[in-house]
Amino acid sequence: MFGIWGHPDAARMTYYGLHSLQHRGQEGAGIVVTDGERLKGIKGDGLVNDVFDEKKLDSLKGNGAIGHVRYTGKSGIENIQPLLFHSSSGSLALSHSGNLINANDLKHQLEMQGSIFQTNTDTEVLAHLIKRSGYLATKDKVKNALSMVKGAYALIMMTENELIIAQDPNGLRPLSIGKVGDAYCVASETCAYDLIGAEYIRDVEPGELIIINDDGIHEERFSLSGSNAMCTMEYVYFSRPDSDIRGINIHTARKKLGKQLAIEANIEGDVVTGVPDSSISSAIGFAETAGIPYELGLIKNRYVGRTFIKPTQELREQGVKMKLSPVRRVVEGKRVIMVDDSIVRGTTSRRIVRMLKEAGATEVHVCISSPPMTNPCFYGIDVSTHEELIASNHSVEEIREIIGADSLTFLSVEGMMKVIGKDDLGKNCGQCMACFTGEYPTEIFPDTPLPYEKEMK
């Protein structure tokens, strides 16, 4: 998500911001602008570049804009964000990162009271709650609505006259504020600021509500912060290496995870290689600590999207074949230590191990820079169901056999906490590790939708 207020070409800045955030979702993209009197939006399927061209950006005139790249969920243009609603009391646009865990329940209640839904998203529930609130000021309407929703939400909303930013009480998804000239901007990741020449100011705190309008920035709380629980997978896999979250640089965190993994694995090999892109930093850290050369053993075809977030298993499997190639000269006749960030279903790891062996590797030792993923995520990351998670149903030795590796090592939960449990200043920063430990930072409802089945009942 990206948002900006007080810039004469807000739509173009948002386009560039979304470009830097493209790794967070490739299924669709949208931008809504305000010229102070009305909101106008354009959205479509595919990459930011597929959806927007010069002409479309020129048609989006205004000083304020918000944008979104779509990660997962049911298809349909109506589900692509920002969602935009018009009513006699004014318009509202919403971008949401995360997953509302009591959305089915709230939707049912709203429908019983006469609400008609236009999309299948949990985000629309929030729009209805905001619009139905009896309060006059937008910030009070939003506060009232947020008191009813539970789960993970980093939100950027916009009316004709202001941006409204909120972070859930556990701070599960990253969100920060920056400044470019006199304009304020908001982004899911700090890498968006570099591209537009903005300066990072600070992270949005859990339970915080921020209003930005022509009078400046107004900061307050809508909730006491709960147990601080930033998503660990943001550090391990999801975010870009040049982003910082809660004072921790992603590349540095991954490198440290790799170093810790090398200590725990204590394994012999001739070369260390990382699965591009998210495991390169960990592989470099592993190689440094193990004293084994780091080599580029796998090459990524840059023009294919990320396999992990393609919506179906069939597409995922096709994607792997198109995406990676082994560097035969590097791996032939060598004992290869292959560092990857996670094993979800095991299919990708199996294919890569086979690929390396077919290219002549004598042994392939798989080292994973996170613990076994045994539980589904209800907070917006598609890590599948219990049944599909290989580590939920198999021991480490069984997984090793399934993926065809000569050895398999996962980072321990303790090792992971040692590395990313504190910020660069040594301050404790709480993390969500529920997909590894089963300890969810919020309550979970029996009908809580998983992120990939965000089509609501």
Residues 6 or more apart in contact with residue 410 via CB below 8 angstroms: 343, 368, 370, 371, 372, 396
Assigned token pair, 161: 């006259």
Residue 186 or 381: the one with the smaller Cβ distance to ligand SF4 is 381
Least distance CB 166 / ligand SF4 (angstroms): 17
Distance (Å, rounded) from C-alpha 84 to C-alpha 64?
Answer: 14
Least distance CB 9 / ligand SF4 (angstroms): 35
Give the range of 108-116, 163-171, 229-237, 282-290 binding ligand SF4 by CB under 6 A. Answer: 229-237
Distance (Å, rounded) from C-alpha 35 to C-alpha 7?
Answer: 11
Widest Cα–Cα separation across the chain: 71
* CA distance to 58, 184, 269, per residue, from 161 (Å): 21, 14, 60
Output the DSSP codes for 200-231: EEEEPPTTEEEEEETTEEEEEESS---S--EE
Assigned token pair, 130: 């905001």
Assigned token pair, 131: 């619009």
Interface with ligand SF4, residue 330, by CB under 6 A: no
Least distance CB 267 / ligand SF4 (angstroms): 26
Contact 29, 51 (CB under 8 A): yes
Give the range of 210-218, 226-234, 249-257, 279-287 binding ligand SF4 by CB under 6 A. Answer: 226-234
Opening angle at CA 172, ends 85 and 312, nearest 5: 70
Assigned token pair, 389: 């998670």
Residue 367 or 377: the one with the smaller Cβ distance to ligand SF4 is 377
Among 11, 84, 94, 172, binds ligand SF4 (CB under 6 A): 172
Among 34, 102, 232, 369, binds ligand SF4 (CB under 6 A): 232
Residue 31 or 344: the one with the smaller Cβ distance to ligand SF4 is 344
Three-state DSSP class for 44? strand
Least distance CB 378 / ligand SF4 (angstroms): 7
Alpha helical stretches, state H, 23-101: 48-51, 54-59
Least distance CB 273 / ligand SF4 (angstroms): 25
Residue 174 or 269: the one with the smaller Cβ distance to ligand SF4 is 174
Least distance CB 435 / ligand SF4 (angstroms): 3
Give the range of 63-71, 230-238, 311-319, 325-333 binding ligand SF4 by CB under 6 A. Answer: 230-238
Give the range of 65-73, 177-185, 228-236, 309-317 binding ligand SF4 by CB under 6 A. Answer: 228-236
Binding mask 420-439 for ligand SF4 (x = CB under 6 A): ------------xxxx----
Contact 206, 212 (CB under 8 A): no
Stretch 91-120 residues interacting with ligand SF4 (CB under 6 A): none
Assigned token pair, 7: 């810039």
Residue 172 or 405: the one with the smaller Cβ distance to ligand SF4 is 172
Among 60, 185, 204, 231, binds ligand SF4 (CB under 6 A): 231
Gap between the terminal Cα atoms of the chain: 26
* CA distance to 345, 375, 385, 430, per residue, from 433 (Å): 18, 10, 16, 9
Binding mask 383-422 for ligand SF4 (x = CB under 6 A): x---------------------------------------
Three-state DSSP class for 311? coil
Burial 170-186 (b: 16+ CB within 10 A, else e): bbbbbbbbbbbeebbbb
C-beta neighbour count of 450 within 10 angstroms: 17
Least distance CB 436 / ligand SF4 (angstroms): 7
Among 29, 47, 233, 336, binds ligand SF4 (CB under 6 A): 233
Instruction: Please tell me the count of residues contacting ligand SF4 according to CB under 6 A.
Output: 12
Least distance CB 49 / ligand SF4 (angstroms): 28
Binding mask 129-168 for ligand SF4 (x = CB under 6 A): ----------------------------------------
The torsion angles phi and psi of 328, rounded to 5 degrees, stand at -55, -45
Give the range of 54-62, 241-249, 352-360, 377-385 binding ligand SF4 by CB under 6 A. Answer: 377-385
Q: Which amino acid appears at position 386 of this protein?
A: H
Residues 6 or more apart in contact with residue 189 via CB below 8 angstroms: 20, 21, 24, 174, 176, 239, 240, 243, 245
Among 129, 271, 381, 391, binds ligand SF4 (CB under 6 A): 381
Residue 10 or 233: the one with the smaller Cβ distance to ligand SF4 is 233
Q: Which amino acid appears at position 13 of this protein?
A: M
Least distance CB 82 / ligand SF4 (angstroms): 22
Residues that bind ligand SF4 in the complex, under the rule CB under 6 A? 172, 231-233, 377, 379, 381, 383, 432-435
